[in-house]
Copies of this chain bind each other. A is one copy, B any other.
């Protein structure tokens, strides 16, 4: 165990490992080696060991890792043992979709407030959890009262920097941004941007590349089922 700076690539992988371990635990697996973990989820075993070794010696030589113990360690390292409270700025389509998204809970996040500047929306309550929509001008107060520590920016690119400035002023240190802009944050404030535009354009680039020779008949070497799913649901209904 070192006390170097940990790369974000490493911490992102810790999330992946934790997810895998949860699946293993559900399947009743008690112990797993880095090799087996790598095989099962196609990861690299050396990388798993190296990533984990930054934080401690969690394994037993000759045996592997205890699934449950490693889960606990990763949960603590990622700070998922403490609950987080989320405020979403922008009560449009995306903002309300996120407010209803059940996936937050698994990581110990709770959405407690929405913000907007549209009078029609302010004062309403959204979704089954009846999350209140506040006036965006009251961000600072609501952040304090509701003990919000994570903000989500779900507003148009044009106003995203202004919104970021406001939530930073309110003392927020962690922000998830969905607007397609590169935002400037103060030191000590972490912004993660999920840029749909970049991802789409990356796919477009891929499709535009002629060098990847696609098989003209897609059925030619298809090893997958084409049966209809029986239990598909919307993302919110998980």
Contacts and interface: CB of A to CB of B under 8 A. Distances in A.
Given A96-B97, A136-B228, A206-B190, A104 B200 contact: yes
Max chain B C-beta neighbours (<10 A), residue from A104, A109, A194, A234: A234
Contact of A205 (B77, B154, B158, B178): B77
Contacts of A179: 235
B233 A156 contact: yes
A101 B104 CA distance: 22
Interface stretch (A28-36, A46-54, A59-67, A87-95): A87-95
Contact of A235 (B155, B176, B223): B155
Interface residues of A, number: 107
A237 B226 CA distance: 37
A132 interface: no
Contact of A232 (B79, B116, B238): B116
A238 B188 CA distance: 30
Contact of A159 (B8, B162, B196, B231): B231
A97 B95 CA distance: 9
Number of copies: 2
Interface in A88-127: 90-97, 100-101, 103-104, 106-109, 116-118
A19 interface: yes
Interface string A184-215: 10101010101111111111111111001111
26 contacts: A14-B205, A15-B201, A19-B197, A42-B184, A78-B208, A79-B205, A93-B96, A94-B234, A94-B235, A95-B235, A97-B97, A136-B232, A137-B228, A154-B234, A156-B234, A156-B237, A156-B238, A157-B238, A163-B229, A165-B226, A166-B229, A169-B226, A170-B218, A178-B235, A186-B224, A192-B203
